Amino acid sequence: MVEVEGEVIPRKRWGAWLGPVGQSIGPILLGLVAGGILLLLTGRNPLAFYGDILKRGLFSSSGVQDSITRMAPLLLMAAGLIVAFRANIWNIGGDGQFLLAAAIVSGFGPGLVAVLPAGLGLVVLCLLAALVGALWTIIPALLKAVYGMNEVITSLMMTFVGVNLANLLIKGPFRSQKTSVPQTDVIPHDKLLPYLPGTRIHVGILFALVAVGAVYYVMTRTSFGLRLSVLGANPRAAVHVGIDVRRLTVVAFMISGAFIGLAAGVEILGVWGYVRADWNPNFGLTLFALVFLARLNALATIPLVGFYAIISMGGHYAARRAGLPDDFMLMVVGLILLFMTLTEYVAARRERRATRLVAGPKAALRPGGAHE
């Protein structure tokens, strides 16, 4: 190996600015531009449309508070997904874990907060939510750990079961006698998670930020995090170096479920106070995309989730004003994902030519040195 004699510099090409940040922001910009073109084609003014989104989602006091409130469950869920995905465990069943935890918290919530002292009741309910989420992963976790069964299939099955079980509970034992629509009893407003002083943002966002920070810390600084990374990067190496792969698989899966259950708990205890039958915010799928855009880096999910929260809070409003279907923004999100894949491809190609040598003075003397 030669001490570098010339200077090794990154190749300056149009793709060079595509650092990790560019690779996340780039697709978003491209998606927005493409969405804008679609808007133009349908005779709408894209600037007005995006302006509406920002106005509703970011630049009004209630809008920004709503967006931040929305970030809480999303960030918790992202934390849960990252723990699993880092270990190459495909926990696809987030929505099932989420809804079941939501149903159980809403079912027991009104009773518990009535008998327990205020703070304690909320703590117990949050723990209960986490526990439900964790327990709902046990079957796919064990099937994967012991029999090597593919968790994409099993956790997806458990989602179907979980979603329907949640509905059964809400329509059956947890059903409120006070309303005609099937839903649970409502936890009184003053017993819900408190707001941050001077705002209408509940404290769940703090839990979420702590959770994301903790996941980042654990993944980068602890032996547990390294074991997860080894398992995720090379499962055969994990076995070879003596990691207890079965146990780790189950533990990681359950932690993932616990965060997702907690997300549900925070959303119910912070915003709604009850659930209706057939309610399903479908956070799971969007979050998959977001955590991959963040390259499974927990801290990087914060801005991305914030961005998404703004779009989803403002998107409905803007679509309605523009006379577009409610889901127009979903299409833009879809475009963003498409561009994300393309960027990934370009980056991979670029990697092969990653560096170039600026040779020392003898480059000029070299026969054939004229090439490039």
Partner 1 sequence: MVEMTRPVAGRSGATRDLSAPVVEIRGICKAFPGVVANDDVSLAVFGGEVHCLLGENGAGKSTLMNILSGMYQPDAGSIMVDGQEVRIGSPRDALDLGIGTVYQHTTLIPVFTVLENLLLGQGRGLSMDQKGALAGLKKVAADLGVDVDPHVQAGRLALGQQQQVEIIKALWGGSRVLILDEPTSMLTPQGIVELERVLLQLKERGLAIIFITHKLHEALDVGDRVTVLRQGRVVGTLEPDTVHATPRPELQERIVGMMFGEEAAALAGVAEVRGQVTGRRARREISPEAVLELRGVSVEPQRGEVGIHDVSLIVRRGEILGVAGVDGNGQRELAEAIAGQRAIHRGDILLGGTSIRHASISARQRQGLRYVTDDRLGEGTVSSLSVAVNLVLKRIGDGPFWRRGLVREDAINECALGLVEGFDIKTPSVQTRCGTLSGGNIQKLLLARELSFEPKIVVYNKPTHGLDVKTTHVVRDRIRELAEKEYVSALLISTDLEELLDLCDRIAVLFRGRLTGVVENRVGAEWEVGRLMVGGESR
Between 115 and 365, whose beta carbon lies closer to partner 1? 365
Query: Whose Cβ is closer to partner 1: residue 33's or residue 359's?
Result: 359
Per rule CB under 8 A, is residue 356 in the interface with partner 1?
A: yes
Please report whether residue 295 would count as binding partner 1 according to CB under 8 A: no
Residue 372 binds to partner 1 (criterion: CB under 8 A): yes
Please report whether residue 285 would count as binding partner 1 according to CB under 8 A: no
Q: How far apart are CA 57 and CA 12, in angstroms?
A: 38
Task: Mention every residue, 6+ apart, whose C-beta is less than 8 A from residue 312.
Answer: 57, 70, 329
Decide: residue 46, CB within 10 A, 0-12 exposed, 13-18 middle, 19+ buried: middle
| Tokens 């099993």 -> residue | 154
Query: 90 or 174: whose CB is closer to partner 1?
Result: 90
Residue carrying structure tokens 């997860």: 228
**Cβ atoms < 10 Å from Cβ of 266:** 30
Q: Kindly state the tokens that stand for 320.
A: 């309605």
Choose which of 77, 141, 230, 313 interacts with partner 1 (CB under 8 A).
230
User: Residue 8 belongs to what H/E stretch?
Assistant: strand 7-10
- Name which of 200 and 362 has its Cβ closer to partner 1: 362
Torsion over CA of 324, 326, 327 and 332, rounded to 10 degrees? 50
1 lines the binding site for partner 1 (CB under 8 A): yes
Among the residue ranges 282-290, 317-325, 329-337, 349-357, the one whose residues contact partner 1 (CB under 8 A): 349-357
As measured in angstroms, the least distance from the Cβ of 364 to partner 1 is: 12
160: tokens are: 């179907």
Question: Which one of 108-116, 166-174, 280-288, 352-360 is the stretch in contact with partner 1 (CB under 8 A)?
Answer: 352-360
Least distance (Å) from partner 1 to the CB of residue 157?
A: 24
Sign of the dihedral through C-alpha 37, 40, 44, 46: positive
- Residue number with CB closer to partner 1 (138 or 239): 239
222 binds partner 1 (CB under 8 A): yes
4 binds partner 1 (CB under 8 A): yes
Q: Which of 233, 282, 326, 334 binds partner 1 (CB under 8 A)?
A: 233
